[in-house]
Amino acid sequence: MHDLVIRNAALVDGTGSPVREGVDIGIDGHLVGEIGAGLGPGRREIDADGRLVTPGFVDIHTHYDGQATWDPWLEPSSPHGVTTVVMGNCGVGFAPVRPDHHDFLIELMEGVEDIPGAALSEGLTWGWETFGQYLDVLDRREFAVDVGAMIAHGPLRAYVMGQRGADNEAASSDDIAAMARLVGEAVAAGAMGFSTSRTITHTAMNGEPVPGTFAAEDELFTIGRALGRAGKGVFEVAPAGVAGEDLVAPKNEVDWVCRLAADIGRPVTWLMLQNNFAPHDWKELMARSAAAQEAGHRVVPQVAGRPFGVLLGLQTGRHRFADCPSFAPLRERDPAAIARAMGDPDLKTRLLAESRQQVARLAESNPLAAHVADAFDRTYVLGDPVDYEPTEADSIAGRAGARGVDPLDEYYERLRDRDGMAMLLMPFLGYAEGNGNALHEMLTHPAAVLGLADGGAHANFICDASTPTWMLTHWVRDRTRGPRLGLPDVVAKMTSQTASLFGLTDRGVVAPGRRADLNLIDLDRLRLRSPRLVADLPAGGTRLLQDAEGYVATVVAGQVTREHDEFTGVTPGRLVRS
């Protein structure tokens, strides 16, 4: 008798093969035991009734490094079919660490990834110094998903070099040797790899770039060779060209990334997003990566499933009027009360005038920032259910034109929608031409892997951890502005392909002997709702969560962790070591 049998499923097994209808899946312990038709009984049975069964989704770009020490649920990723997360990305993390550097690493994570510092200060358990000890702490915890971690350049440099490392001074040969040794020890202990950031906009709370941002090639290559000697682990790079007007076309970055992959013999994954200043450069960079792969080197661009941008609204407190003097009395009220108060015509007149004055003053010192603030043609109503591929008519400028009103007036009124719970989306990357065509090309390119969901990060600005749900609702089912993606291909992108990059060969495919991490999904009913702000972090910290509807069940290690879009309370997830 099987422990669990899922009957009559439409199986999308994660390999990219066509959907198989009428399939039974028998689970024994934490593994898939048998797949076929008319299997024997199970201690528990679930009738899939023709719904999809997929492998659990493997999200390789998250930032739960602190949250994992206190939170078993790891939202916002887990409600979206994610059963394995990899954290420690972008050169930030919490190990290794000296006892007097706790605050430094908290401020670094808060600055780079917008995770409230007070929440980290109260929630982090600490109790480690080395990366291996950090993994041991995680190994004693239970989660709703499996968790893997990379060692990050920021804490590593600060640990070895002290203030010199934090200040991005050049590393000596002894410094570099020490960092390489610690990376080798971390990977031997179970680190999934090493990450670094070259992105100048990745800064700590004091404005200083992440330690390692300007590291010389000998430092990066020597650390990478530690992965090569270990024969495992991924080298992850947030490159210099990810964001910003002065960071266009990071072609030299891709050159050294390709040389690094050839030198160390390990996968090197780097973050690639379309920018507004050179919107077609990504094609050349993708071609270079593909050429490196053809030469036998694993240079893997990590691409996004939707535009990268900030969310604006009354509930987050981030919007055009937040710093206006006349808005100050409203700041402590709930969104519905703010929306009602903003219905006062006199208050509206004052707020519109004050906002225009503020942007005019900003234009004198920072014309680019003022231009962004007035980018009503690139600010969209997100909706509920959400739409991350909005049209020009969905923009604030488009809606204002249709109504014959000033765009700032339209912006004001749309903030008040849905009793103040409305959200506006301002894409910064991945939407340069106002459509998802570039994203479609990236997602279908054989050289790329899906990532960049950033679960646990940018807690009050962004909620892209719901990308797996968006991949299914939009790219597979609903897209009308261009070609869609095939269901088997999308599932493979989120399962076997991401798992394979990190050497997680026990998952990502539904097959006998593989780990029983599964999703049972009602694709016809699947919906992605608007993000909502909650204050459930330690110290009352806030973050955005995003609900989904249509996940009938999520199974981790053979146990049902979520059923009908709710947690069941069981936590079979554990630390995954390389």
pLDDT at 509: 98
Q: Does the pLDDT value for residue 572 go beyond 80?
A: yes
The whole-number average pLDDT for the span 204-215 is 92
Q: What whole-number distance in Å separates Cα of residue 529 and Cα of residue 473?
A: 11
The whole-number average pLDDT for the span 150-155 is 98
- Please report which helix (H) or strand (E) contains residue 2, including its range: strand 2-11
For the chain, list the domains and their CATH numbers. 58-307+431-518 (3.20.20.140), 314-425 (no CATH)
Q: What is the pLDDT of residues 389-428, one digit of tens each?
A: 999 999 999 999 999 999 999 999 999 999 999 999 999 9
In single-letter form, the type of residue at position 261 comes to A
Phi and psi, residue 530, nearest 5°: -70, 145
Q: Does the pLDDT value for residue 247 go beyond 70?
A: no
**Distance set, CA 100 to CA 96, 126, 151, 210 (Å):** 12, 12, 19, 18
Percentage of the residues of the chain whose pLDDT score is greater than 70: 98
Q: Does the pLDDT value for residue 111 go beyond 50?
A: yes
Strands (E), 56-156: 57-59, 82-87, 146-149, 151-152
Nearest CA among 311, 395, 417, 272 for reference residue 76: 311
Q: What is the pLDDT of residues 122-146, one digit of tens each?
A: 999 899 999 999 999 999 999 999 9
pTM (predicted TM-score): 0.96
Q: Does the pLDDT value for residue 251 go beyond 80?
A: no
Nearest CA among 369, 358, 383, 386 for reference residue 428: 369
Q: How many helices (H) and strands (E) does the chain have?
A: 19, 25
Omega before 96 cis (within 30°)? yes
Given pLDDT bands bounded at 50, 70 and 90, which one contains residue 243? very low
Q: What whole-number distance in Å separates Cα of residue 299 and Cα of residue 111?
A: 28
Q: What is the pLDDT of residues 329-347, one digit of tens each?
A: 999 999 999 999 999 999 9
Q: Does the pLDDT value for residue 276 go beyond 90?
A: no
Q: What is the pLDDT of residues 56-99, one digit of tens each?
A: 999 999 999 999 999 999 999 999 999 999 999 999 999 999 99
The radius of gyration computed from the CA coordinates of the chain, to the nearest angstrom, equals 24
Given pLDDT bands bounded at 50, 70 and 90, which one contains residue 278? confident
Sorted by sequence, the CB contacts under 8 Å of residue 497 that are 6+ apart come out as: 449, 450, 508
pLDDT at 240: 78
Given pLDDT bands bounded at 50, 70 and 90, which one contains residue 277? confident
Q: What is the DSSP string of 279-329?
A: TTHHHHHHHHHHHHHHTT--EEEEE-SS-EEEEEBTTTTBSTTTT-GGGGG
Given pLDDT bands bounded at 50, 70 and 90, which one contains residue 250? low
In single-letter form, the type of residue at position 559 comes to Q
Give the residue carrying structure tokens 């991924």.
234
Q: Does the pLDDT value for residue 502 go beyond 60?
A: yes
* Average pLDDT across the chain, whole number: 95
pLDDT at 244: 43
Q: What whole-number distance in Å separates Cα of residue 433 and Cα of residue 435?
A: 6
Strands (E), 354-494: 380-381, 424-429, 449-450
Length of the chain: 578
Show contacts of 318-323: CB within 8 Å, 24+ apart: 318/460, 318/461, 319/415, 319/424, 320/355, 320/359, 320/373, 320/408, 320/411, 320/412, 321/351, 321/354, 321/355, 321/412, 321/415, 323/358
Give the residue carrying structure tokens 């923009």.
395
Q: In the numeric block, which tokens belong to residue 474?
A: 């939009």
Nearest CA among 456, 476, 432, 482 for reference residue 545: 456
In single-letter form, the type of residue at position 433 comes to E
Given pLDDT bands bounded at 50, 70 and 90, which one contains residue 218? very high
Strands (E), 406-478: 424-429, 449-450
For the chain, the first-to-last Cα distance in angstroms comes to 33
8-state DSSP, 396: H
Q: Does the pLDDT value for residue 248 go beyond 60?
A: no
Q: What whole-number distance in Å separates Cα of residue 61 and Cα of residue 442?
A: 17
pLDDT at 241: 60
Give the residue carrying structure tokens 């208050």.
347
Residue 373: how many other CB atoms lie within 10 Å: 17
Q: What is the pLDDT of residues 423-454, one digit of tens each?
A: 999 999 999 999 999 999 999 999 999 999 99
3-state DSSP assignment of residue 395: strand
Given pLDDT bands bounded at 50, 70 and 90, which one contains residue 242? very low
The whole-number average pLDDT for the span 5-18 is 98
Q: What whole-number distance in Å separates Cα of residue 76 and Cα of residue 60?
A: 14
Strands (E), 37-142: 42-47, 52-55, 57-59, 82-87
Q: What is the pLDDT of residues 456-490, one digit of tens each?
A: 999 999 999 999 999 999 999 999 999 999 999 99
Percentage of the residues of the chain whose pLDDT score is greater than 90: 93
**55 and 496 in contact (C-beta within 8 Å)?**
yes
pLDDT at 12: 98
Q: What whole-number distance in Å separates Cα of residue 73 and Cα of residue 562?
A: 10
Q: Does the pLDDT value for residue 356 go beyond 70?
A: yes
